[in-house]
Chain A
């Protein structure tokens, strides 16, 4: 559904253009989830911004980002606007800053629905309520009229997901959606994303610095380092049999506990094969 081909992104700098993404190619199929993992400065967020046409104006790009055959990099702003939200939904890291503090949860979800479709106020509100239920907000009938500051971080992120879902996009991009959250809340949010991919057949690009998050939630994994694609393949293969030294280093940097399961399973599998 989405194919990124030989994408490079550069910004003008004092010492000539600085390449933040360097010749990356990757594809996401319908109903598939792709994880992009890398440390800060790896270019993973720039890649996702490019995919919904939100790169800063000074960015210079080459290559192509094909969504059902159309190159996003060559679309005009007006065409991009109709694509954002409707075809591609975005979930951000910081649900407090991504939400409008002066609008209730219900208003923010309904806003997109009414901008893109000709529906009445009450119909949009009913849809917002359904979406809040879908992302398992407790007591949605009350929460629909809450403001962001009245909610916990986990609830705000659920509202963020509901907004992204409002226009029934085919592709969701979630950039570090759980990094600011407690682990127990993180688990709930990742479960919801899993469910959306499984039940609605959405495609998902999940960006994270945390290999544990990528491991549990994605079918394929792209490992990035300093703007380059280091390794790409089925998540299980990339983690169990990494071909790049950088991927091995990333796994080795994980706390013992996070790595332990992999070791046990790998040993188990090796024992079983014999």
Chain B
């Protein structure tokens, strides 16, 4: 086994809730450990409230853990100085769920895609910058001319391609995708999943893929962790976990998934 690119150990995040004068503690992430090898796609699957998005936010250093460590390429993200962390951010980028809310409608696509370049000390300028943006757009299957247009001129699937181009512009080692295909029509979802797989194959991209959809896990991921109430209840290769689930909760999730195996109301009742 090669050294993991992302190593999460015993990660915990507590929130304090104050409502109606009472204070309550909520453990959103509870002792999660996982390792993601370079060039692989690790999916975290779970239902709403299981802590998967909190986990994603901590890996992106958008939130701090209560306990535990997140190591990216050996560096403990939360032991870095603010300046060192800011420099490190070029190595991990994020793709969000909502392709309508995550792109600034007032900015041109070129400006949106180039935005993370401010993280680079040696960011290209002028013509070099333009050609870098053009290549990033072509890399995700959009024409270079898209740079001059605005988000509202694009469909949901195209916007998600723009969001992916933005995430890739700094040439990151890790991309965290939080429900990145959940808002899309099925045919578009399939295209974006193919794009993610092709980017992994072409660039050796490592992806932490957060989703509620087991069908999607089966399509893109190498390994999967099933999350419930803040804990990772089962981890393994996609084949192990989906074909031979060990945990009751995993079996419940698998059984609830609507498939074409059951056709028609009457048939099932008979």
Closest to B218 in A: A257
What range describes how many residues of B lie at the interface?
A: 20 to 34
User: Which residues of chain B are near A184, meaning CB under 8 Å?
Assistant: 47, 252-253, 256
* B190 in the interface (beta carbon within 8 A): yes
* A209 in the interface (beta carbon within 8 A): yes
Q: Summarize A's interface: helix, strand, loop or mixed.
A: helix
Q: Is the CB of B259 within 8 A of A198?
A: no
User: Which residues of chain B are near A46, meaning CB under 8 Å?
Assistant: none
User: Which residues of chain B are near A210, meaning CB under 8 Å?
Assistant: 186, 258
Binds A, one of B71-79, B137-145, B208-216: B208-216
Q: Summarize B's interface: helix, strand, loop or mixed.
A: helix
How many A-B contacts if CB must be within 8 Å? 116
User: Which interface residue of A197, A235, A249 has the most chain B CB atoms within 10 A?
Assistant: A235
Q: Using a Cβ–Cβ cut-off of 8 Å, how many residues does chain A contribute to the interface with B?
A: 43
Q: A183-B47, A197-B265, A236-B267 are in contact. Are A255 and B260 (CB under 8 A)?
A: no
Q: How far is the CA of A225 from the CA of B261 in the complex (A)?
A: 24
Closest to B263 in A: A236
Q: Is the CB of A212 within 8 A of B219?
A: no
User: Which residues of chain A are near B268, meaning CB under 8 Å?
Assistant: 216
Binds B, one of A50-58, A59-67, A129-137, A260-268: A260-268
Q: Is the CB of B260 within 8 A of A261?
A: yes
Q: Is the CB of B262 within 8 A of A183?
A: no
User: Which residues of chain B are near A198, meaning CB under 8 Å?
Assistant: 265, 269
Q: How far is the CA of A32 from the CA of B161 in the complex (A)?
A: 41
Q: How far is the CA of A153 from the CA of B142 in the complex (A)?
A: 37
Q: How far is the CA of A240 from the CA of B267 in the complex (A)?
A: 14
Q: How far is the CA of A33 from the CA of B264 in the complex (A)?
A: 9
Q: Is the CB of B261 within 8 A of A253?
A: no
Q: Is the CB of A216 within 8 A of B262?
A: yes
Could you show 18 A-B contacts with beta carbons less than 8 Å apart?
A39-B185, A40-B156, A184-B47, A194-B265, A211-B260, A212-B257, A215-B259, A215-B264, A216-B262, A216-B264, A217-B265, A234-B264, A250-B186, A257-B257, A258-B215, A258-B260, A260-B261, A261-B261
Which residues of A pack against B, CB within 8 Å? Answer: 33, 39-40, 153, 182-184, 186-187, 190, 194, 197-198, 209-213, 215-219, 234-236, 239-240, 249-251, 253-262, 264-265
